[in-house]
């Protein structure tokens, strides 16, 4: 099966408002001043633990296990309060499914949180597999994380769509094309760039991943 695998934060969904709120709840619990959302934006992409390490380091302290507990306790319940799909995402996913592609998510976010948010936003039905940062011993940019997603989907041919260096590096490591989502949080060099989600079906078709009848 031909597959299109997506990153989550900054690619499918604008999750910055809820992530920033969760980070600042941890900082407040620690008695520290909050960080601006745009500063937190640059810390996203390597999973919740690294995010908290970076946020607390910005306030001159070291993150601990209790910080993660505070973050996850709140975020698990409120991860979709203000989070929304980016414009064109629903239309692109529907078009790709109509073209016969299997769709997956490979994210460094914990898998339970990723699935909960996708369900809350009504996106879960599009995806055949979701692998999180705790689903395997590996995380993007390690290509074995993406390879696990492809294996779960039974994919023989695929493309990775993401907004971060980690996504493009994982795609390269798996020997598949990467499409950089220019609307997201990160930066990366890529052979293919989508300026908005509406462009994705055309870009995927141009790569020859024509799919097939479902």
Q: Which CATH architecture has domain 2-14+84-206?
A: 3-Layer(aba) Sandwich (3.40)
**Does residue 214 register a pLDDT over 50?**
no
| Pairing status of strand 84-85 against strand 13-14 | antiparallel
Which band of pLDDT confidence, cut at 50, 70 and 90, is reported for residue 213?
A: very low
Mean pLDDT for 153-162 is 93
Whether 191 is a known active-site residue: answer no
HSE-up of residue 57 (Cα within 13 Å, Cβ side)? 8
Q: What residue ranges do the domains of the chain occupy? A: 2-14+84-206, 16-78
Any idea which residue has 């097939």 for tokens?
212
Question: The tokens of 136 are what?
Answer: 């395997």
Q: What is the pLDDT of residue 208?
A: 78
Tens of pLDDT, residues 90-110: 999 999 999 999 999 999 999
Question: Smallest Cα–Cα separation from 8: which of 96, 107, 150?
Answer: 107
Among residues 7, 9, 163, 167, which one is catalytic?
7
Class of domain 16-78: mainly alpha
Q: In this structure, are residues 144 and 168 in contact, taking their beta carbons and an 8 Å threshold?
A: no
pTM of the model: 0.93
Any alpha helices (H) in the chain, and if so which ranges?
16-29, 37-41, 48-58, 65-78, 89-98, 111-120, 143-153, 165-174, 200-206
């Amino acid at each position: 099966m031909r597959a299109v695998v997506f990153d989550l934060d900054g690619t499918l969904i604008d999750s910055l408002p809820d992530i920033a709120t969760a980070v600042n709840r941890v900082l407040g619990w620690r008695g520290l001043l909050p960080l601006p959302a745009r500063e937190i934006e640059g810390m996203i992409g390597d999973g919740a633990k690294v995010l908290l390490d970076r946020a607390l380091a910005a306030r001159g302290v070291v993150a601990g296990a209790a910080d993660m507990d505070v973050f996850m306790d709140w975020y698990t319940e409120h991860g979709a309060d203000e989070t929304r799909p980016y414009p064109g995402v629903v239309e692109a996913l529907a078009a790709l499914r109509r073209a016969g592609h299997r769709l997956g998510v490979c994210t460094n976010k914990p898998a339970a949180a990723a699935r909960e948010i996708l369900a809350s936003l009504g996106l879960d039905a599009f995806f055949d597999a979701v692998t999180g940062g705790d689903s395997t011993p590996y995380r993007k940019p390690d290509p074995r994380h993406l390879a696990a997603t492809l294996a779960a989907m039974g994919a023989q041919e695929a493309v990775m769509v993401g907004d971060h260096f980690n996504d493009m590096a994982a795609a390269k490591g798996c020997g598949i094309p990467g499409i950089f989502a220019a609307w997201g949080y990160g930066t990366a060099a890529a052979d293919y760039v989508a300026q908005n989600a509406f462009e994705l079906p055309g870009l995927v078709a141009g790569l020859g991943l024509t799919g097939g009848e479902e």
